[in-house]
Amino acid sequence: MTDPQLSTAERLARQAERVSADLAAQDASWQGGWTRRSFLAGAGMVGVAALGSQLVTTRAAYAASGLSNGNTLICIFMRGAADGLRILVPASSDTGLDYLTTVRANLVPASANLLPLPGAPGWALNSALNPLLPFWNTGELAFVPAVSVEGVTRSHFQAQQCLERGSDTATTGWLDRALQQLGPGTTFRAVTQGSALPAALTGDQTKLVMSSLKNFSFPGWDGVAPQSETALRTLYRGLPGPLGQDVPTTLAALATAATARAKAGAQNGAVYPGGNFSTALADLATLLRAEVGMQVATVDVGGWDTHTDEANQLDRNLTSAAKALAAFLTDLGPARRSRVTVVVMTEFGRRVQMNASGGTDHGHGSLMWLLGGGLAGASVYGKWNQLSAGSLDSGDVPALNNAYDVLGEVAQKRLGVGQLGTLFPGRTFAPLGLAKAV
């Protein structure tokens, strides 16, 4: 579809066809009830902007009213419950080091492997996070310890669902409801890197799940690709259920993906390590550079359920995660980074006491990380009680800070979501003051 051999006129004609096909598909789905879908496939592209006169006026106006503020929220979920106490380590008597060394001596990094955090006395970073330290120094890294939400149990699956749905009773995800409030955007406004949709994005809003930007093109002989795409639009027109949305969305995204691919390649000297997580972040950087209108993105990274041999397992995972995140932030460069906020979360923290296998069992209060633009400063936010036998909740870090408050503050101040009531039903919002409003 983006064959350079095509004349501008032909390219515009094809885009017009694609946009009208998209609109027809949406008409069909709207008959079953209003869903706020994107009309402008690849709204960031010059070609489509030039087509403005061909779009039905009210729809264009409606779409324009929902244009994003240009910021992006990236949610990274560390599946398996990462042990916050070995990531951001309470490193003084005041924060609880003495207790830690009595119950998990082998899991407290040696002082040579702890990085002090200027301005956050009593805390130190696992040295595996060394690549991220420069961002602490520029106010682009922060943490919230002892974080959880009401209703979270020590079950991985229940806890993930509870956190991602924004309440223990909601049937859609909190990010899906954030998108609903933001109104329509481009086909790329919500991107999941991976092979399946996370619970945070389940719901009616359109979103794009891609395993890699590199392979995001219509397969087979190019000579029949446009005809095949046209046929597929008809075959799926009006189909109820997820495929009736996903097929038109996918087809609408192909041309934009091709344009974005032209922007691939790390910038600013960033070097990504290997691995799926790294590839996913590199793809997101490419999409951000291509200005495809991405408002929300999610990435999952697994391997944190360290019931055994935690010191080795966790540090290995942290090393590659920190390198990948540092490469991503570097790749974006300071200006673009100021419009991108990354939240790293996990379903719960781990037991303070080490188990017999050199690991830790399921616990409660966990650690959230915030990176990138719009933070109120490098800091450890929220409440913390000195760790001691008496201050724990059934042997675990207590929930002193609310994860919905963190997510809500970022959604409100960075994405411009107006009301948080539908995102986190029943929660009386108490921001920690960790982000700056746009």
Provide the binding-site residues for another protein, judged by CB under 8 A.
79-80, 153-158, 192, 194-197, 202, 207-212, 215-221, 224, 227-228, 230-232, 234-237, 239-243, 246-247, 249-250, 253, 302-303, 305, 307-308, 313, 355-357, 359, 361-362, 394
On the 0-12 / 13-18 / 19+ scale of CB atoms within 10 A, 130 is middle
Q: Compute the least distance from the CB of residue 148 to another protein, in Å.
A: 15
User: How many whole angstroms separate alpha carbon 136 and alpha carbon 234?
Assistant: 52
Question: Of 61 and 231, which CB lies nearer to another protein in the complex structure?
Answer: 231
Question: Of 35 and 127, which CB lies nearer to another protein in the complex structure?
Answer: 35
Exposure string over 58-76, b if 16+ CB within 10 A, otherwise e: eebeebeebbbeebbbbbb
Q: Compute the least distance from the CB of residue 416 to another protein, in Å.
A: 26
User: How many whole angstroms separate alpha carbon 397 and alpha carbon 90?
Assistant: 12
Contacts for 14 with CB less than 8 Å, ≥ 6 apart: 1, 6, 226
Q: Compute the least distance from the CB of residue 113 to another protein, in Å.
A: 23
Q: Which residue do the tokens 């264009």 mark?
A: 60
Contact 370, 119 (CB under 8 A): no
Q: Compute the least distance from the CB of residue 358 to another protein, in Å.
A: 9
Question: Of 54 and 357, which CB lies nearer to another protein in the complex structure?
Answer: 357
CA nearest to 29, candidates 300, 262, 252: 252
User: How many whole angstroms separate alpha carbon 130 and alpha carbon 115?
Assistant: 7
72-78 and 114-116 beta bridge pairing = unpaired
User: How many whole angstroms separate alpha carbon 314 and alpha carbon 312?
Assistant: 6
The H-or-E segment that residue 186 falls in is none
Q: Compute the least distance from the CB of residue 137 to another protein, in Å.
A: 35
Question: Of 8 and 234, which CB lies nearer to another protein in the complex structure?
Answer: 234
290 Rama sector, left if φ>0, alpha if ψ -120 to 50, beta otherwise: alpha
Question: Of 220 and 269, which CB lies nearer to another protein in the complex structure?
Answer: 220
Q: Compute the least distance from the CB of residue 1 to another protein, in Å.
A: 14
CA nearest to 166, candidates 368, 365, 426: 426
Q: Compute the least distance from the CB of residue 246 to another protein, in Å.
A: 5
Question: Of 117 and 179, which CB lies nearer to another protein in the complex structure?
Answer: 179
340-346 and 366-372 beta bridge pairing = antiparallel
Question: Of 176 and 405, which CB lies nearer to another protein in the complex structure?
Answer: 176
In the DSSP assignment, the letter for residue 64 is H
Angle at which helix 156-165 crosses helix 174-182, to 10 degrees, equals 10
Q: Compute the least distance from the CB of residue 53 to another protein, in Å.
A: 28
Contact 163, 179 (CB under 8 A): no
Q: Compute the least distance from the CB of residue 29 to another protein, in Å.
A: 14
Question: Of 310 and 409, which CB lies nearer to another protein in the complex structure?
Answer: 310
Question: Of 234 and 388, which CB lies nearer to another protein in the complex structure?
Answer: 234
Question: Of 88 and 352, which CB lies nearer to another protein in the complex structure?
Answer: 352
Tell me how long the chain is: 438
Question: Of 33 and 118, which CB lies nearer to another protein in the complex structure?
Answer: 33
**Could you tell me the maximum CA-CA distance found in the chain, to the nearest angstrom?**
74
Q: Compute the least distance from the CB of residue 332 to another protein, in Å.
A: 23
Contacts for 231 with CB less than 8 Å, ≥ 6 apart: none
- Copy the structure tokens of residue 385: 């009680």
Q: How many CB atoms lie within 10 A of CB 46?
A: 11
Q: Compute the least distance from the CB of residue 96 to another protein, in Å.
A: 21
